[in-house]
C-alpha cells in the first residue's frame, strides 16, 4: 500500500502538488488523470524520489520513503516514461537487464530473466535479444520499456503516459497486454494519462486531479455513476456518461410499440403477422395490454399445422424489466438467459415496450453489447 500524507511540492511560489492525501491499493492499476499541469508527473516522480516533496510524507507499506536510500529505493520500483528512453547504445537484452545489472545479478540469472520477459510479450529472444533499440518499431520499443521495468520484479511500477506517443492501434494492443499482464502479476501500478478512455479501460481506481489536488479517487464505475464534482463530470465528458449502460434507462431506448398478438389467435394468424411486420417474435398481451409472454417464430413452426392457438404455445417464464431499470440490467439478462429481447412492463404488468439486441447496438455500439456480462 502506497500512502501520501499531506504531500506538497512547491516550485518557488507555484504549488505543483497541494497537500495531497491519497492511498493507492496494492495489486491494482491506479490511474492519475487530469488536465496538463495539474501535478500528475510531479506526484508520480515523488514516489521514486526523483522529486522530493516540499513537505509531507509518502509511505510504502508503512515505511517512510524519505528515510530510504534513494538509489536503492529506485531499483525496487519500475519506471516507464512516454519517451520510452531505451538506451540506444545497449542491446535489447542489456536494456531489459539494466536494473538486474545494477543489482549485480549473475549473467546467467539475467539471461534467463531476459528470455522469460521477451517470451512474456511475445517477442522471440533469438530474434530480439541482440538487436538495438533503433531496429525495433515504436510499439516493440515500448513493450521493451515495460518489461524493462518488470525485470527485477518490483512490487510497484510507475508509468508516465507510457502509451501516448504510440499510434492508436499499437496503443490499444499495449493497453490490452498491460491489463492481461497485471491480471497475472498483480503489481501495484501507478499510471499517468490524460486520456479518459485509457483511464476507464485500465484502472482499478482513478484519481482525478486538478490544480495539485485530488478531486475524486474512485473506481471507474463510481466515477461515472456519481461524479463527485462538476469538474469530474466535465472532465469525463457528458456524452460518455450517457453512453454508460448503467446510466441509460430502458424507457429512453425501448421500442415503444412492439408487435403484439392476443392469446386467442391461431398460430397461422401469428405467423402471418410476423411476416407482415417483419419480426421473428410477438409480444402476447391480453386486453388492456396485460403482458402474457412471448411467441417466437421457432415456437410457431414447431407446432404448426396442428390448429392450435397462441395461448397454448406462448412462453410465459420470460424475464421482464420495469421502465426505470437501466440498460446494464438488460444486458445482464440477455447474456445470462441468452435471449435477444427483454420486454418492458409497468408495475401492473402492462406491456410498455421492448428492448432487443439490435435496439441496444444502435445506442451503445458493438463493444458494449458483446461484453453484456460486465453489468
Partner 1 sequence: MKLIQYVLNNYGLMGGLLLQHLQLTGIAILSAIAIGVPLGILITRYKSIAGPILAVSSVFQTIPSIAFFGVLIPFLGIGKKTAIIVLFLYALLPIVKNTYTGIKEVSPFLKDAGKGMGMTNMQILTMVELPQSLPVIMAGVRIATVINIGTTTIAAYIGAGGLGQLIFTGIQLYRNEMILAGAIPAALLAILIDRLFGCIEYKMTSKGLKGESI
Ligand X SMILES: Nc1ncnc2c1ncn2[C@@H]1O[C@H](COP(=O)(O)OP(=O)(O)OP(=O)(O)O)[C@@H](O)[C@H]1O
CA distance 150 to 108: 17
Q: How far is the CB of 214 from partner 1 (least distance, A)?
A: 23
Smallest gap from residue 169 Cβ to Mg ion (A): 24
42 binds Mg ion (CB under 5 A): no
User: 134 touches which of partner 1, ligand X, Mg ion, none (CB within 5 to 8 A by kind)?
Assistant: partner 1
Query: Closest distance between ligand X and the C-beta of residue 297, in Å?
Result: 55
Question: Which H or E run contains 276?
Answer: helix 267-277
Phi, psi of 96 (to 5 degrees): -60, -40
Kindly tell me which residue out of 48, 193, 356, 369 binds partner 1, with binding defined by CB under 8 A. 48
For helices 168-185 and 138-150, give the axis angle rounded to 10 degrees: 20
Among 79, 128, 163, 341, binds partner 1 (CB under 8 A): 79
Least distance between ligand X and beta carbon 232 (Å):
16
Q: Could you say whether residue 75 binds ligand X (CB under 6 A)?
A: no
Percentage helix, strand, coil, to 5, in the chain? 45, 25, 30
Backbone torsions φ then ψ of 33, nearest 5 degrees: -135, 155
CB under 5 to 8 A by kind: which of Mg ion, partner 1, ligand X, none does 38 bind? ligand X
274 Rama class: left (phi>0) / alpha (psi -120 to 50) / beta: alpha
Query: How many Å apart are CA 76 and CA 333, to the nearest integer?
Result: 46
Q: How far is the CB of 149 from ligand X (least distance, A)?
A: 18
357 burial via Cβ count (<10 Å: 0-12, 13-18, 19+): middle
Q: By CB under 8 A, is residue 132 in contact with partner 1?
A: yes
Distance of alpha carbon 138 from alpha carbon 253, whole angstroms: 43
Q: Which residues ranging from 33 to 72 are in contact with ligand X (CB under 6 A)?
A: 34, 36-42
Comparison of 46 and 351: residue with beta carbon closer to partner 1: 46
339 binds partner 1 (CB under 8 A): no
Q: What residues line the site for partner 1 (CB under 8 A)?
A: 45, 48, 50, 71-76, 79, 81, 83, 85, 87-91, 98-99, 102, 130-135, 148, 158
Q: What residues line the site for ligand X (CB under 6 A)?
A: 11, 14, 16, 34, 36-42, 194
Amino acid at each position: 500500500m502506497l500512502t501520501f500524507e499531506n504531500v506538497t511540492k512547491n516550485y518557488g511560489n507555484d504549488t505543483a502538488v497541494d497537500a495531497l492525501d491519497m492511498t493507492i491499493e496494492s495489486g491494482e492499476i491506479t490511474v492519475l488523470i487530469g488536465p496538463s499541469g495539474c501535478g500528475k508527473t510531479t506526484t508520480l516522480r515523488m514516489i521514486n524520489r526523483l522529486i522530493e516533496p516540499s513537505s509531507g510524507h509518502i509511505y510504502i507499506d508503512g515505511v517512510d520513503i524519505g528515510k530510504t536510500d534513494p538509489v536503492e529505493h529506485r531499483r525496487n520500483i519500475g519506471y516507464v516514461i512516454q519517451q520510452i528512453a531505451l538506451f540506444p547504445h545497449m542491446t535489447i537484452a542489456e536494456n531489459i537487464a539494466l536494473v538486474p545489472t545494477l543489482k549485480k545479478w549473475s549473467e546467467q540469472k539475467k539471461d534467463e530473466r531476459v528470455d522469460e520477459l521477451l517470451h512474456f510479450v511475445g517477442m522471440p529472444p533469438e530474434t530480439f535479444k541482440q538487436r538495438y533499440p533503433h531496429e525495433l518499431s515504436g510499439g516493440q520499443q515500448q513493450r521493451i520499456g515495460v518489461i524493462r521495468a518488470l525485470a527485477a520484479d518490483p512490487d510497484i511500477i510507475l508509468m508516465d503516459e507510457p502509451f501516448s506517443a504510440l499510434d492508436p492501434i499499437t496503443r490499444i494492443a499495449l493497453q490490452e497486454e498491460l491489463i492481461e499482464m497485471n491480471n497475472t502479476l498483480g503489481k501495484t501500478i501507478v499510471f499517468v494519462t490524460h486520456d479518459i478512455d485509457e483511464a476507464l479501460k485500465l484502472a482499478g481506481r482513478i484519481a482525478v486531479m486538478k490544480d495539485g489536488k485530488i478531486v475524486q479517487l474512485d473506481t471507474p464505475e463510481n466515477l461515472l455513476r456519481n461524479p463527485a464534482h462538476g469538474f469530474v463530470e466535465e472532465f469525463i465528458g457528458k456524452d460518455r456518461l450517457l453512453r454508460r449502460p448503467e446510466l441509460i434507462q430502458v424507457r429512453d431506448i425501448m421500442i415503444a410499440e412492439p408487435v403484439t398478438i392476443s392469446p386467442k389467435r391461431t398460430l397461422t394468424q401469428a405467423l402471418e403477422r410476423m411476416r407482415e411486420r417483419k419480426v421473428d417474435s410477438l409480444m402476447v398481451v391480453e386486453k388492456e395490454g396485460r403482458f402474457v409472454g412471448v411467441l417466437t417464430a421457432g415456437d410457431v413452426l414447431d407446432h404448426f399445422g396442428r390448429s392450435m392457438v397462441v395461448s397454448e404455445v406462448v412462453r410465459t417464464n420470460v424475464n421482464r424489466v420495469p421502465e426505470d431499470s437501466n440498460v446494464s440490467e438488460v444486458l445482464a439478462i440477455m447474456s445470462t438467459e441468452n435471449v435477444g429481447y427483454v420486454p418492458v412492463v409497468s408495475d401492473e404488468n402492462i406491456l410498455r415496450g421492448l428492448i432487443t439486441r439490435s435496439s441496444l447496438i444502435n445506442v451503445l455500439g458493438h463493444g458494449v453489447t458483446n461484453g453484456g456480462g460486465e453489468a
